[in-house]
Each structure stands twice: as C-alpha cells, then as structure tokens.
Amino acid sequence: MDFELTAEQRMWKEAVHDFVAQEVKPKAKEVDENGEVNWTAIHKMGSLGLLGLNVPEEYGGAGVDAVSAAIAIEELGWGCGSTALSIAAHNGLGCAPLALFGKEALKQKYLPIVARGRHPDGSPSGLAALALTEPQAGSDLRGIRTHARLEGDHWVINGTKMWCTNAGIAEYILTLVRHDQEQGSEPFSLILVPTDQPGLKIDPPEKKMGLKGSPTHAVSYQQVRVPQDYLLGKPGAGLRQTLQVLDGGRIGIAALSIGLAQAAFEFALQYAKERKAFGLPIAEQEAIQWMIADAATEIHAARMMVYYAAWLKDQGKRFTKEAAMAKLFASEMAERVCRNAIQIHGGYGYSREYPVERIYRDARLMTIGEGTSEIQRLVIARQLLKA
C-alpha cells in the first residue's frame, strides 16, 4: 500500500484540523473540569460531516472512506479526548451498525437525524450509542443477560447495561440482547431502542478518572417495548454484527489514541524548548531528547498501522488482526507518550494547570475501552494461529 494521503484526504485533514483548533481544543480544559458535553462544537459538526462519517450520503452522512474517518477521529483526539470519544462512539458504534445492518425504513427514519445533528424541524438532535457491557459480562459478550421477548409485533426488553458511552445524550441506543434461540441460530441480536421509550432508565453519568466530558451511563430496561422491525438484520445475527462493528471501532480508538499522544507530544516539545535548567533549555539534555525521539517514532508507527488497517477496510479485505494490532499498539503507545510528556514537564506536569495532566488521564481508558489490551492480544494470536 502507498501510505501517501490523497489530495482529497489532505484537504479533509486540514479542514478538520482547523475546525478542531477553533471549536474543540480551546474548550478542552473547560469540558474536563465541568464534565459537560461541548454541544457548541458538536452542533456545528453535522454540516462538516463529522457526525456522519460512516453514514452514506443518501442518508445525510459524509460517507467518507475509512482512512478519512480515522483522520477525523485523530484530529478530534488532538483537540479534546472527551469530545473525540463521544464522536468516535457515535460514528463507529452508534451509526455504523444501523447503516450496515438496519432495515431501509429504519435507516431512513434515524440516520439523517443523527448524521446531520438535526431533527426534521431543525432542532438539535442527540447522538447515537451502543450498549454491550453488563455488570457480569464485559469482554465475554456471550455472557450477556439482557433479554428480549417477542410479543406480537413488538420486542419486550428487560435487563441492565453498563459503561454505555453517550446514553444520556443519545437519540437511540443500539442494544445487544439475548432472546429465545431458534434451532441452528445464535441467541443474540441488536435492537434499536429510542431513548424516549417508557421503561428505559438512564442513570447519572459515571464519575470517571478522565474523559469527563463524554458521559458514560448504566442503562436499565424494564418492559421496554420496541417494534419488531427495529431489530438489525435477522434474529441471531447480533454477535457477528457486533464483532464486525468492533473491528472498525478499534481503528477509531487507535486513531483517538494517536491524537491524544500527538497533543501531549506537542506540549512537551514546546515546554522542553522553553524551560531552562542549569542555564540551558532542557531540550539540550540527552535524557529529554530520547523521550522526544521515542515519542515521535512511536506516534508515526502507530499512525501507519491505523492507516493500513483502515486501508484494508476500504479494500473490503479482512482487517480484524490489523485493527487489533493498531488498537493495541496505539493505545499503549499513547500511555507511554503521555507519561513521558508529564516527566518532561516535571512537577508542573502533575498540575492541572498544564494540559498534559488531563491528556494522560484521558489516554488511560484507551487500553480498556472497546476491548482491553489483553483481549487485543487474544484476537491477534487467534488470527495468527488459525491462518
């Protein structure tokens, strides 16, 4: 593969970068301290295409290629981890499954709203969400217990989900459920649940270490009724659909990790040039230079891994292994780079007055969300062993 971006991709990168620099990055500290969603920026994203990265143009989306989608998430991560996570989850987990597997009527009803960020009457809309994890089922999706029972022409859903990004600000939550198993089929399906349905309870946002402006919630379903055709695809296809979606989502988390690392690296580089010790800028110290060199090298390597996985996706080839590799390397790389950025800042890096403290806290989730590093290693190993 030729890793050189196309002219269109370079223009896209520049446009997104400029938007993030103006609308997202200046409010990152405020978003973190107040734990509030940056709606001002999000409401402007629809017209730029950032809310419909995975949505075809006929449904109001941007329908960009996978490399361009990764570029956008990286730039958002460079600006604000919280905002980037909500938009990455919205696109990769909330919109993508509906665009890939939803029935035509369902796509026409919901995709234009969430991709444009507007209701038909012009009022702002919420984002999209995906609910997988449960109190007793995280990495083991086969262990979920949230149940859907078909009654007439409606599904009746009961159960509890945890760690659902965007639930409290969502138009709908795609929910992985267990149901009565037909002979020869899997007992799992994805069902679209509008957030205004009676019986759906969304708890207050979790109090988290970082990413405080990206709300994460527990969600409970108590006799929640949704139409039968709100199921995505055929009954029993939910686990396969989810795993396919998570492959793409891992590219997004990897890209977000690179954005966080890039921001921390830039702050550290600037600080190293300005801060003096023993009469010289600390950038003159070999120990500092090594950390700077390692950061630049690892960021570049991670970016190439993300581009390659995204390119495979665009080519319609299998990318499960490559997405897991990119997510594993980029997320662990981001922790190292952010840690060293704090080290370069010294005591100031531990202070909330400097952005590297926030970025480090935000980066910590990346090795956990959408499959822990341990799960990524299992995925990679199994792909290699069955080859």
- CA–CA separation, 335 and 344 (whole Å): 14
CA geometry: angle 224, 229, 235, nearest 5 deg? 90
Give the chain's largest Cα–Cα span: 79
Q: Which of 14, 57, 370, 374 is catalytic?
A: 370
In the structure encoding, which two tokens stand for residue 305, read together? 């891994």
Which residues are registered as beta bridge partners of 216? 165
370 among known catalytic residues: yes
Catalytic residues: 370
